[in-house]
Structure 1
Amino acid sequence: MAHRVTGVLIFFFLFVHVLDTALVRVSPEAYDEVVATYKTPLVAVLEYGLVAAILFHALNGLRVIAVDFWSKGARYQKHMLWTVMAVWVVLMLGAMYPVLGHAAREVFGS
């Protein structure tokens, strides 16, 4: 279920991204205003959520491929899920500063 949800969330992000990028052809001033709103702490948290969704979707997709194409995949499905979760947590901890660092500096000053 989480794999489907993250897939839908990533799709909606890509849809909005294409729309806001296309806005530069219609009105560069409006595009600049939209991009300025992306530099807020709230959007930084949403970006971190996007990173979380993409990482989980990618890692879990590899697990699904292994279950489908590896003869022992079904037997080790639960182990692979826990491995995916562990790798995901480590990668999310590593992504915390690069993604949220500028938002923390803006909120707390630096």
Structure 2
Amino acid sequence: MSFHPSINMISVSERYPQLAGFISNVKIKDLNEEINVHIINDEVLDNFLRYYSNKSISDFEIHDKEEIRYILESMGKYNTKKLKKLLMNNSIKKEREIYKILRENLFDEQLTLLNEMLSKK
């Protein structure tokens, strides 16, 4: 007994290799963009630290920077994206908006820890 795949059993990627390649590239591109949306890079972290504590990113030790980054990223994709936009533009209302985002999206323990870390030194 031999088995021969029928035309119905051939996968779409075998029938249309260019289309399958295009779809997989689009999925990978969208996934990478989505992942990068809520990641706080060094430039954004430096802006936050300068604004929130009047200190530079170089004033903090690596484990403190990563802890602050983790706290900010824990707000979720939408709020992190919103915070990044605020930090990257020069708005007069920035201070009020930043504090509002932090108060609405972080637990009291996280806010306390963030304040303690930023007030060190």
TM-based fold match above 0.5: no
Please, what TM-score do these two structures have when normalized by structure 1?
A: 0.29
Q: Who wins on radius of gyration, i.e. which is larger?
A: 2
Please, what TM-score do these two structures have when normalized by structure 2?
A: 0.27
By relative contact order (CA 8 Å, sep 6+), the higher-ranking structure is: 1
